[in-house]
């Protein structure tokens, strides 16, 4: 028995960002998938009366990584609607300022002066089909480890759903909170930005089977273009000596951060 065509029952298969997200805008060269997930609250904020202020509560969190001295990249949907942003790296928590965002790429650049002395990784020019990759980030914050969590997999395709040219398909598992985190190659370079996953539960209803580990990352080409328009200096990385998995995790820990939205 053949697999039913999901396009016969729905206009597009469904993606889900690893944390509540705004829809991924359509690319110029391919029909866009539908991204399902509620956006963070953007209701107007009424200033409290004197003496009635309440402690600021965290609305959510995602992941990010240092790309240059004092600058961090994450997903645009991670910071959308936030009144205040902080970046946590190890035991330190630092104030961050939104420097630039581009919804069409789902990328955001944060300025974090406290991280100016931190070395940034190199950024590859492109990914290779079939290469091994590691996802680093802070998924399920408050439930899992406060340290970075890493998963591994491969680059399964050089385009996303319906040949979305901005994305890579990867098999490394991701969870809520991984959005905006780095996709790291075997030499410790950045080869993508984690962004979304296929909504397996909804697709199961459409085709009668559960897709496994169908996840997506923004290509390094688009990250480099984004940083170029922001006049941010970054290092170019090249695939070189292969590091052992624990070494990759150690390297990723030096530049991976948690992005907190208030």
**Residue 77 annotated as catalytic:** yes
Query: What six digits make up the tokens of 16?
Result: 């889900």
- Catalytic choice (17, 37, 77, 196): 77
Closest CA to 94 of 55, 136, 64: 64
Characterize the bridge pairing of strands 71-74 and 60-68.
antiparallel
Burial 114-126 (b: 16+ CB within 10 A, else e): ebeebebbbbbee
**Residue 179 annotated as catalytic:** yes
| Torsion region of 104: left, alpha or beta (phi above 0 gives left; psi -120 to 50 gives alpha) | alpha
Alpha helix ranges (H) inside 114-240: 200-207, 220-229
Q: Which residue has the tokens 């300025």?
A: 111
- Catalytic choice (179, 187, 196, 199): 179
- Catalytic choice (61, 63, 106, 141): 106
C-alpha gyration radius of the chain: 18
Closest CA to 166 of 216, 213, 96: 216
Annotated catalytic residues are: 77, 106, 179
């Amino acid at each position: 028995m053949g697999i039913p065509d999901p396009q016969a029952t729905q206009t597009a298969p469904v993606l889900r960002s690893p944390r509540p997200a705004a829809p991924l805008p359509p690319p110029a060269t391919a029909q866009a998938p539908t991204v399902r997930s509620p956006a963070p609250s953007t209701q107007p904020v009424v200033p409290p009366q004197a003496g009635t202020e309440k402690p600021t509560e965290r609305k959510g969190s995602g992941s990010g990584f240092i790309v240059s001295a004092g600058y961090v990249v994450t997903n645009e949907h991670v910071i959308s609607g936030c009144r205040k942003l902080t970046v946590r790296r190890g035991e330190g928590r630092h104030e961050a300022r939104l420097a630039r965002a581009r919804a069409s790429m789902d990328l955001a650049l944060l300025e974090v002066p406290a991280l100016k002395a931190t070395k940034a990784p190199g950024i590859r020019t492109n990914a290779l089909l079939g290469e091994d990759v590691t996802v680093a980030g802070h998924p399920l914050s408050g439930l899992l480890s406060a340290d970075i969590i890493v998963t591994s997999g491969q680059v399964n395709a050089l385009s996303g759903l319906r040949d979305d040219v901005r994305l890579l398909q990867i098999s490394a598992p991701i969870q809520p909170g991984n959005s905006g985190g780095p996709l790291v190659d075997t030499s410790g370079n950045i080869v993508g930005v984690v962004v979304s996953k296929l909504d397996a539960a909804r697709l199961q209803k459409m085709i009668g089977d559960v897709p496994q580990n169908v996840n997506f990352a923004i290509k390094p080409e688009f990250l480099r273009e984004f940083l170029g328009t922001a006049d941010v200096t970054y290092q170019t990385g090249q695939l070189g000596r292969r590091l052992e998995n624990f070494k990759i995790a150690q390297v990723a820990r030096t530049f991976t951060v948690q992005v907190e939205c208030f």
